[in-house]
Amino acid sequence: MTMLKRILLVLVILVVVAQFIRPARTNPPVDPAKRLTMPANVQAIFDRSCRDCHSNETRWPWYTNISPLSWWLVNHVNEGRRELNASVFATYTAKKQSRKLEEVCDQVQHGDMPIGSYTLVHRQAKLSPADVQTLCTWSEQSRSPAR
């Protein structure tokens, strides 16, 4: 057996074995009282572009069952939830809520969110300039003391 065939055989075996090592694709229960509330126009943008990584309501597509891709995707979702989880937003301190709302605007204005690897697969998640303006206006109004 040539060296190339051996390498290919080992790779195939590793890919097959990897299918048995699956990370937990979780969607913890959501208590509506703990959710971040937003108007319908902002909710529509959030659902289209943010929900999968920043809530406990992730839509797990079929390809999240394929390792090692699943490991990478689950890690991204877990990291996104750690940064901002709209499903538990009301449990954050007032200071943290204000900081996270400010970060929403900063991240979308700089094009850091949604991440490129997400919008590559989910083209509809790309934010238009109007979407960015809507999110920034909402986040600013939500942080104001008059709220």
Going from N- to C-terminal start, the domains of the chain cover 3-143
Banded pLDDT at 10 (limits 50, 70, 90): confident
pLDDT single digits (tens) 63-99: 988 888 899 999 999 999 999 999 999 999 999 999 9
pLDDT single digits (tens) 19-62: 777 888 889 999 999 999 999 999 999 999 999 999 999 999 99
Nearest in space to 60 (alpha carbons), one of 44, 76, 45: 76
How high is the pLDDT of residue 145?
Answer: 64
How high is the pLDDT of residue 131?
Answer: 98
How high is the pLDDT of residue 9?
Answer: 83
Banded pLDDT at 147 (limits 50, 70, 90): very low
How high is the pLDDT of residue 23?
Answer: 82
Nearest in space to 100 (alpha carbons), one of 116, 81, 115, 118: 81
pLDDT tops 50 at residue 8? yes
Region of residue 30 (phi > 0: left; psi between -120 and 50: alpha; otherwise: beta): beta
The one-character DSSP state at 50 is T
pLDDT tops 90 at residue 124? yes
